[in-house]
Chains A and B, each alone.
Chain A
């Protein structure tokens, strides 16, 4: 099993550009989440999903959209990139019981 796969690993955007960060898991987990990690801030929850067709906002959702059309995939869309969105983004999945998160390797995003 590959676990949680994130693409791309690195991305540089200009202010105002849009892009989609991809996340896929092959563990048949119900729950999927997106976090961002900034220096000195730990991880903050952006959006999460408890199953296909169901998404909700986390702590820092502004500027991001998500959808969950299948159990496996949970893409994160940046609508109009801003320098404040420069960060490392992590996707995670978990089973409903106990919510132990399995993380992808992350996407390092720079917005110029």
Chain B
């Protein structure tokens, strides 16, 4: 069954504002990753945070991880129209094996110009 659940399912903000998306998961993980999907395209990896990390930055992206609450958040600062896309969290579950990632259902982000 799917592990991650993103919140909100959809988010519409004005260009220049910050966008925050949340993800919850159920089992122990090695790492948690965020991906972006533009309409009609494949997923693109954005950022990875390991289970022993609490916060990570990459450009305008900030990811936090709280393993005690089994949750993560993705913050996109100073949003741009080009950030309009669906964003998915995905977990690499611990316990051995490389059996793909477990994806959430995604947050659809719309940036209004």
Determine whether the beta carbon of B48 is less than 8 Å from that of A98.
yes
Q: For B99, give the chain A residue with the smallest CB separation.
A: A48
A82-112 vs B, CB cutoff 8 Å, 1 = contact: the mask equals: 0000000010101010111111111000000
Is B31 interfacial (CB 8 A cutoff)?
A: yes
A-B residue pair count with CB separations less than 8 angstroms: 74
Cα distance A44–B31 when bound, in Å? 18
B1-38 near A? 1/0 per residue, CB < 8 Å: 11010000000000000000000000000110101000
B42 touches A104 (CB 8 A): yes
Cβ contact within 8 Å between B44 and A103? yes
The answer for the CA separation of A67 and B25 in the assembled complex, in Å, is 31
B104 touching A42 by the CB < 8 A rule? yes
Instruction: Scan A14-38; emit 1 where CB is below 8 A from any B CB, else 0.
Output: 0000000000000000110101000
Given A40-B105, A42-B103, answer yes or no on A99-B92 (Cβ-Cβ < 8 Å).
yes
Interface size on B, residues (CB 8 A): 27
State in angstroms the CA–CA spacing of A100 and B101 once bound together: 9
Instruction: Looking at the assembled complex, report how far the CB atom of A69 sits from the nearest CB atom of chain B, in whole angstroms.
Output: 19
- CB of A43 within 8 A of chain B? yes
The closest CB in chain B to the CB of A57 belongs to: B99
- Interface status of B57 (Cβ within 8 A of chain A): no
A78 interface residue, CB < 8 Å from B? Answer: no
In the complex, which of the residues B31, B88, B103, B105 contacts A99, with contact meaning CB atoms closer than 8 Å?
B31
Task: List B residues at the A interface (Cβ < 8 Å).
Answer: 1-2, 4, 30-31, 33, 35, 41-45, 48, 50, 88, 90, 92, 97-106
10 intermolecular pairs with C-beta atoms under 8 Å apart? A41-B105, A42-B88, A45-B100, A48-B98, A58-B99, A58-B100, A59-B2, A99-B30, A103-B44, A104-B42
